[in-house]
Amino acid sequence: MNTPSESTRSIGDSIAVGRERGYYRVIFDAGPVDAETFAELAGVPEQSGRIWLEEQAGAGMLRVVRAPDGVGEELLLPGEYVPVLVSDEDTPEFSGARALLREHLAEVERVRALAADARPALVK
């Protein structure tokens, strides 16, 4: 079983892989995706894509949403993470979003903590 520090390191590594390989950009550009679509767009085997997506969803980096067919589920990149995960500091298309994030960072962390605390109650 992973210790908290091992889990944190593993999530951090998974996030780094997603940024380096452009996985977050793929999801941002495509919109919500299932594992098969993500794997095809990212050019990875479906099983590898599924594992990475599950890691990201488990860490709260991706949000699970109902698929348009109303039956399946897809994953989307929440807008509040886009400026950090999709762009580099020199990408002008996100300069406004980065400024807003810096201005409201404490608020984002508070809301994220509240959501994490509420998650078990929502699952029941």
Which token pair is 108?
């984002």
* Total tally of structural domains belonging to the chain: 1
**82-118, pLDDT tens digit by residue?**
888 887 656 666 667 667 777 777 776 776 676 666 5
User: Considering the entire predicted model, what is its pTM?
Assistant: 0.68
The whole-number average pLDDT for the span 41-56 is 94
CATH number, domain at 106?
1.10.10.10
The whole-number average pLDDT for the span 66-84 is 88
Provide the angle, in degrees to the nearest 10, between the axes of the packed helices 105-123 and 95-103: 80
Percent of the chain residues past pLDDT 90, beyond the cut: 39
The whole-number average pLDDT for the span 40-52 is 95
Range of the structural domain that residue 36 is part of? 4-123
Which token pair is 67?
């698929």
